[in-house]
Amino acid sequence: MNNQFSLKILDLFQPVFRIFHIDYPMVRRILEMKLLMDGRRVPTVFDQSTKIKGNKFLQSLGLYAFYSLLLLFFLVGDVYIFQMSILFGISMFILMSAFISDFSAVLLDIRDKTIIGTKPIDARTIGVAKLLHVLMYITMLTGAFTIIPIFFMLFIQGIRFTILFVVLMALFVLFIVALTSLIYILVLHVFDGEKLKNMINYIQIVLSIGIVIGYQLVINVFNVVGTEVHYVFHWWNLLIPPMWFAAPFEVMLNGNTETGILVLSSLSIIIPLLAIFLYYKFIPAFEQNLEKLLDKKGAASPKKYPFRTFWEKMLCTSEEEKYFAFAYQIMGKEREFKLKVYPTLGMAIVFPFIFLIIFLQDSSVEELKSGYPFIYMYFTNIFISITVHMLQFSAQYKGAWIFPMTGGESPKLMYRAAIKAFLVKLYAPVLIIVGIGYSLLFSFSIWLDVLIVFMSAILLAVMAYGITITRRYPFSDAFETVKEGGYTAKSFALMFLTAPFVLIHFLSTLLPYGKVAWCILLAGITVLVWKFVFRRKAASKAISKQVINN
Amino acid sequence: MAEETAIHMQDVKVRFGEKQVLKGVNIEVGRGEIIGYIGPNGAGKSTTIKLILGLLHEFEGDIEVFGTSIRGADPAYKKRIGYVPENAEIYDQLTAGEYLTFVGELYGMSRDKAYQKAAFLMEQFGLTEVIHQNISAFSKGMRQKVLLISSMLHNPDIIFLDEPLNGLDANSVIVMKEIFHKLAEEGKTIFYSSHIMEVVENISDRIIILRDGEIIADDSFATLKARSEQGSLEGIFNQLTGFETNEKQVENVVSSVLDREVREYE
């Protein structure tokens, strides 16, 4: 994106800034610098060969466009309050996770504090520049997320619906940005910095669970009977944000003027404006509280990790153990890694259930049981390649100098241990949660499917390693704050590698004992591929030597 | 010169939760003084500096910069302050030229003026060739020079220096010390914070020692030396902060490194 162009657009809003007594030229200058910096890659010690690549953020937009396909299911029909509530619910989940994972780094940047905060600049000016910086990227992200649905709805629902949607979506995004920031402000005010950083991860998990519960709620609210949907307003509906944004569709397009719907509609305008106003009011306090992020807490008691130690012994060779433990700790402790990865894990848990619900809209559990429910479990695997790709990065990537220093051992060994740690620590719990959910919904026999899904996950992880890993050592390169949405085109394409597994799994059900056979065959293939990819080459030593020489 | 007092702190107290970080600090610094501000880790040195720079807002007592209380003040007073932070935060994706120009503009200079001055100063420090290179590619010493330039670019009246000579080679250290002296002669106030006692000793007009949030000494080096039996600032510092070289500690470390002593821990 052309920075000058976006700044020119911003110039059009100058009068607005003047109304709020904001030092616009300074805001613009700070923003210009930020955008300039975003456009540059930080060269790192271990990967000097890496060329300056295209904007990673733009590449990650593809992923959001992909997610948006989910929305299409809810664009057909005219029970707007129902469809649009679900649609805004999904959007809220996906956009909020994206904001939290990609933009927290920007919102919580304390570098600004020492560099700009010590200069004669109003705290509000810094806050506004920061907000605009985030808003620019959010606009692009939202654009990617809504462009396909917008085209689709133009055909299906017509122009009036589309315009209404665009307006409401804009309000909706404002609301979410302000809400996310206000949550941060509140948490920072009440707790210390350490808590906030941990809290961000909890917020993500809560969001994931919230969406599942949200669906239960929506189904209950609307009293779905077959395809007929009845809506009766209850006061507590006012507490469900997606419903505010769904209500105007009822008013404008269905001519529904019930009091409840009107009240909900008015909230869709009032609350976002109020939230932005509050945010503006709280900016100075927020910036001030950011200082807390620098606080450090004192000593802690020694911790034991029986679970980790158990799997370490079970799965690793003696030389792998130390790397397994290291990777396991980083995955559990490094906030930035968690920020990037945990939201996708949340989706890995939620998606299998979302799709079940989509299909439950027009069929019963009984029908699904006789079908192929395991297919939806593969949504947990879609995220594997992205996460494996992430194993290369760390906020403290500079610490990786220690690896070539202590040298001798192959980086492959480190990745092998890291992938094992990933499967044990992050992937297995997700699949087990999904498996438990499915076995409760369907039958216990689903666990054979779970096993097959798990083995294809291992195979996928190894393939992802072979294809996406370009850094020599794990955790040895920087996440680029805003630009690296976390996904490259490659790992995005890898998501589709899940498809053949789904297909074979499906085909295997057509044969007697087909699943068992596939399970055994898959186990064999996985072992072979694992051995092949992680085979020891004499060459690897020469390479690591070369790194030290560099 | 109408204002003779650069910094005035009266009974300044700061508390972080349970911990009282500053316990009633009184400091009076005049124009043209070079203050050596020292103390053990965690004594409250950087807290003091952050307060004056307006990075921390919650404090008791009174802080005045050139006679104006900074509590709730217009941040414009920061135009008269320059700052070299210790942990060297810097936007290193920018080139040195871009960064310095930007900082100059933040201080209210015009872009052109800031750039011209930055380019000249960089030339003086022998950095002309790297002016268009990203700071991320700089050595520690080059970064430090950029930080030093950024703290002086806007002709400030007070300069806070936190370990300013970090990473500089011996020649540059001599030049910088000379620059600090000259600036002080021109009426600039320099607030110098460092753990390297030799430098503090020979650069400062006055030395303030902080321990556990309290000022335990505030005098010229000559006076301090006369008061204690120690001949060097290092000796005075260790004496005043109650630190004694622990023979046992040294012994333990060495024997552990040599694997002569092994202990069991949980």
Can you spell out the DSSP letters for B43-106? SSHHHHHHHHTTS----EEEEEETTEE-TT--GGGGGGEEEE-TT----TTSBHHHHHHHHHHH
The predicted pLDDT at position B73 comes to 77
Cα–Cα dist A268/A241, whole Å: 8
**Bridge-based pairing state of the strands B189-193 and B158-162:** parallel
Query: Measured between beta carbons, which residues in chain B are less than 8 angstroms from residue A119?
Result: 75, 78, 103, 106-107
B152 close to A (CB below 8 A): no
- Using a CB-CB cut-off of 8 Å, the residues of chain B touching A118 are 53-55, 78, 81, 83, 85
**pTM, two decimal places:** 0.68
Residues B146-169 pLDDT 10s:
999 999 999 999 999 988 998 899
A107 falls within a domain: yes
Backbone CA torsion sign across B1, B2, B5, B9? negative
Laid out side by side, the sheet with B19-30 consists of B19-30, B5-16, B60-65, B68-69
On whether both A214 and A325 belong to a single domain, the answer is no
Q: A293, A317, A332 — which closes off a domain?
A: A293
Same domain, A239 and A310: no
Same domain, A353 and A492: yes
For residue range A389-398, what is the model confidence (pLDDT) as tens digits? Answer: 888 888 888 8
**A297: contact with B, CB 8 A cutoff:** no
Q: How far apart are CA B97 and CA B138, in angstroms?
A: 13
pLDDT at B159: 94
A281 with A320, same domain?
no
Helix orientation angle between A306-315 and A318-333, rounded to the nearest 10 degrees: 140
A293, A327, A356 - which closes a domain: A293
With beta carbons less than 8 A apart as the criterion, state whether A339 and A196 touch: no
List, in sequence order, every residue forming a beta bridge with B83; answer none if it has no partner: B160
- Number of residues assigned to chain B: 266
Mean pLDDT to the nearest integer, A295-307: 63
Q: How far, in Å, CA of A456 to CA of B172, rounded?
A: 61
- Asked whether residue A458 is domain-assigned, the answer is yes
Structure confidence by residue, pLDDT tens digits, A307-357: 888 888 888 888 888 888 889 888 887 877 877 787 778 778 888 887 777
- Quote the CA–CA distance of B29 and A62 in Å, as a whole number: 59
What is the per-residue pLDDT for A528? 93
Domain of A113 in residue numbering reads as 3-45+56-293
Rg (CA), chain A: 25
Rounded to whole angstroms, the Cα distance separating A419 from A417 reads 5
Which of A272, A293, A314 delimits the end of a domain?
A: A293
* A207 and A156 share one domain: yes
Nearest-angstrom CA–CA distance, B200 and B196: 7
Closest CA to B197 of B149, B156, B243: B243
Residue A48 confidence class, pLDDT cut points 50, 70, 90: very low
CB-CB under 8 Å, B53 with A43:
no
A 10 A CB-CB count for A160 gives 11
With beta carbons under 8 A apart, name residues in chain A contacting B134. 40, 43
Q: How far apart are the first and last CA of chain B?
A: 64
B115 Cβ under 8 Å from any chain A Cβ: no
Task: Measure the CA–CA gap between A119 and A57, rounded to whole angstroms.
Answer: 31
Report the pLDDT value the prediction gives residue B185, as an integer from 0 to 100: 93
Return the higher-pLDDT residue of A550 and B121.
B121
State CA B198 to chain mean position distance. 15
Q: What is the pLDDT of residues A399-437, one digit of tens each?
A: 887 787 776 567 888 899 999 999 999 999 999 999 998
Is-contact A276 A170, C-beta < 8 A? Answer: no
Mutation to test the B interface, candidates A27, A50, A119, most B Cβ within 10 Å: A119
3-state SS of A206-218 is HHHHHHHHHHHHH
pLDDT at B245: 66
Q: Quote the crossing angle between the two packed helices A123-156 and A259-290, to the nearest 10°.
A: 150
Interface contact A321, partner B, CB < 8 A: no
A507-534 mean pLDDT: 90
Contact partners, residue A543, CB within 8 Å, separation at least 6: A411, A472
Are B72 and B59 in contact by the 8 Å Cβ rule? The answer is: no
Q: Do A118 and B57 touch (CB under 8 A)?
A: no
Is A330 in contact with A188 (CB distance < 8 Å)?
no
A287 with A320, same domain: the answer is no
Mean pLDDT score, A242-246 = 88
Helix orientation angle between A428-441 and A335-360, rounded to the nearest 10 degrees = 20
Sign of the CA dihedral with B37 first, then B38, B44, and B46 last = positive
Q: What is the pLDDT of residues B46-103, one digit of tens each?
A: 889 988 988 888 889 999 998 888 887 788 888 899 998 877 678 887 889 999 999 9
Residue A482 contacts residue A60 (beta carbons within 8 Å): no
A382 and A282 fall within a common domain: no
Q: Which of residues 70-89 of B touch A (CB under 8 A)?
A: 75-79, 81, 83, 85, 87, 89
The verdict on residue A438 lying in a domain is: yes
Distance CA B148, CA B123 (A): 13
Q: How far is residue B212's CA from residue A151's CA, in Å, rounded to a whole number?
A: 65
Q: How confident is the model at residue A455, as a pLDDT?
A: 93
Is there a single domain that holds both residue A317 and residue A272? no
Report the alpha-carbon distance of residue A328 to residue A341 in Å, rounded.
14
Q: Is residue A51 part of a domain?
A: no
- Is A361 in the same domain as A277? no
Cα A139 to Cα A6: distance, rounded to the nearest angstrom? 11
Report the domain count for chain A. Answer: 2
Selecting from A41, A116, A192 the residue whose C-beta is nearest the C-beta of B106 gives A116
Is there a single domain that holds both residue A362 and residue A434?
A: yes
* Predicted local distance difference test score (pLDDT) of residue A461: 92
The arithmetic mean of pLDDT across residues A127-140, rounded, is 82
**pLDDT surpassing 60 at residue A81:** yes
Alpha-carbon span B266 to B252, nearest angstrom:
19
Q: Is residue A269 located within the same domain as residue A326? A: no
Residue A50 lies in a domain: no
Task: Please list, in sequence order, all residues whose beta carbon lies within 8 angstroms of the beta carbon of residue A355, skipping any fewer than 6 positions away.
Answer: A376, A379
Residue found by looking up tokens 């009184």 in the block: B26
Judge whether A298 lies within some domain. no
Interface predicted TM-score of the whole assembly (ipTM), two decimals: 0.76
d(CA B227, CA B209): 14
How much is the mean pLDDT over chain A? 78
> In this structure, is residue A301 part of a structural domain?
no
d(CA A403, CA A475): 11
What Rg do the C-alpha atoms of chain B give, in angstroms? 20
In-domain check, residue A300? no
Q: Please indicate, yes or no, whether residues A360 and A288 belong to a single structural domain of this protein.
A: no
Number of other residues whose CB lies within 10 A of the CB of residue B254 = 11
Chain A nearest CA to B159, separation (Å):
12
